[in-house]
A and B are shown apart, each in its own frame.
Chain A
Amino acid sequence: QQQVKQSPQSLIVQKGGISIINCAYENTAFDYFPWYQQFPGKGPALLIAIRPDVSEKKEGRFTISFNKSAKQFSLHIMDSQPGDSATYFCAAGDNNDMRFGAGTRLTVKP
């Protein structure tokens, strides 16, 4: 079932640093690539998403970079803050299917 590979499994970053999480997908029919953020005891919540017609999307400190030919995309968190500490899931899919990566546990140290 796993069609989206996510790395690293865990990440520790100092406050103010850049957090980078990478994902790769297999199905070339996928046309929607969201990132979800999950805090302990909560369900995942949509953070930012991209479609394959652009190579980058930025929302505040969060940026998605997308490489269609390589079937890879990544999340960059600039100026990482302790409040960003959470588990991040990438996903890839279309209108009828969505596959999630295994998740990355991010810890931002003060």
Chain B
Amino acid sequence: DAGVIQSPRHEVTEMGQEVTLRCKPISGHDYLFWYRQTMMRGLELLIYFNNNVPIDDSGMPEDRFSAKMPNASFSTLKIQPSEPRDSAVYFCASSTPGLAKNIQYFGAGTRLSVL
């Protein structure tokens, strides 16, 4: 398996533009998580899905952020409009419960720079 695949790896955009980050979870995993990592705040959980349904979005910073999971193999995190303070590395992770007890497998991340 190729693991969790995120795209793009790097994104540079200007303030006010829409940004869409993409994630393909590991096949068979029914949980998908979006995280944001910054030096100041560390690793923050933004939202997670179970079986394509958003379960907890309490970590989403504000209405400018939205996430969707139209099917089991694809999720997007959208920021509209983007602001410089959104600059961070965004990680997607997937997992499956059971014996593995929610071990999360992370993608390589998308480094977002908003100018």
Given A43-B93, A95-B97, decide whether A89 and B43 contact each other with a Cβ distance below 8 A: yes
Contact B108 A42 (CB under 8 A): yes
Interface segment among B11-19, B62-70, B80-88, B98-106: the answer is B98-106
Query: In angstroms, how far is the closest chain A Cβ from the Cβ of B15?
Result: 25
Contacts of A36 in B (CB 8 A): 106
Interface size class of B (residues with CB under 8 A): 20 to 34
Contact A95 B101 (CB under 8 A): yes
Of all chain B residues, which has the CB nearest A34? Answer: B103
Query: In angstroms, how far is the closest chain A Cβ from the Cβ of B108?
Result: 5
Contacts of A102 in B (CB 8 A): 41-43
Q: Is B45's beta carbon under 8 Å from chain A?
A: yes
- CA gap between A96 and B45 in the complex, in Å: 13
- CA gap between A57 and B42 in the complex, in Å: 26
Interface size class of A (residues with CB under 8 A): 20 to 34
Q: Is B4's beta carbon under 8 Å from chain A?
A: yes
Of all chain B residues, which has the CB nearest A32? Answer: B101
Contacts of A60 in B (CB 8 A): none
Contact B45 A99 (CB under 8 A): yes
Contacts of B44 in A (CB 8 A): 1
Q: Is B71's beta carbon under 8 Å from chain A?
A: no
Q: Is A20's beta carbon under 8 Å from chain B?
A: no
Contacts of A54 in B (CB 8 A): none
Of all chain A residues, which has the CB nearest B41? Answer: A102
Contact B103 A49 (CB under 8 A): yes
Q: Is B91's beta carbon under 8 Å from chain A?
A: yes
Q: Is A18's beta carbon under 8 Å from chain B?
A: no
Query: In angstroms, how far is the closest chain B Cβ from the Cβ of A23?
Result: 12
- CA gap between A98 and B106 in the complex, in Å: 13
Contact B102 A94 (CB under 8 A): yes
Within 8 A of B (CB), among A69-94: 89, 93-94
Contacts of B33 in A (CB 8 A): 98
Contacts of A42 in B (CB 8 A): 108-109
Contact B108 A43 (CB under 8 A): yes
A-B contact pairs, 8 of them (CB 8 A): A42-B108, A43-B108, A44-B91, A49-B101, A89-B42, A98-B45, A98-B102, A100-B35
